[in-house]
């Protein structure tokens, strides 16, 4: 598994995940939509941590410099 995510990409994903988490836990988004968005936020954090996005691989997208 080669890295295919750059620093800016990872930062944006983490910021989006934090925003979704705050909105969920403050009750702004709730119900099924809130849970689905929270799962996506978790996926964003996980893919940022490992610097690999499985969706980028088949599409040939690579945002890292190496």
**Residues whose CB falls within 8 Å of the CB of residue 24, separated by 6 or more in sequence, listed in order:** 30, 34, 37, 38, 41
Q: Residue 21: how many CB atoms within 10 A of its CB? A: 15
The more confident residue out of 65 and 22 is: 22
Tokens read off for 2: 């080669």
Predicted pLDDT at 54: 93
Boundaries of every domain in the chain? 7-54
- Is residue 40 a contact partner of residue 20, using CB atoms and an 8 Å limit? yes
pLDDT reported for residue 2: 87
Torsion of the alpha carbons at 53, 11, 41 and 3, rounded to the nearest 10: 20
Which pLDDT belongs to residue 44?
Answer: 96
Each residue's pLDDT tens digit, 4-61: 999 999 999 999 999 999 999 999 999 999 999 999 999 999 999 999 999 998 999 9
């Amino acid at each position: 598994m080669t890295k295919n995510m750059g620093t800016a990409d990872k930062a944006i994903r983490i910021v989006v995940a934090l925003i979704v988490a705050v909105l969920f836990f403050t009750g702004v988004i709730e119900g099924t939509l809130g849970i689905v968005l929270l799962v996506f936020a978790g996926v964003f954090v996980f893919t940022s941590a490992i610097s690999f996005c499985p969706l980028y691989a088949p599409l040939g997208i690579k945002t890292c410099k190496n």
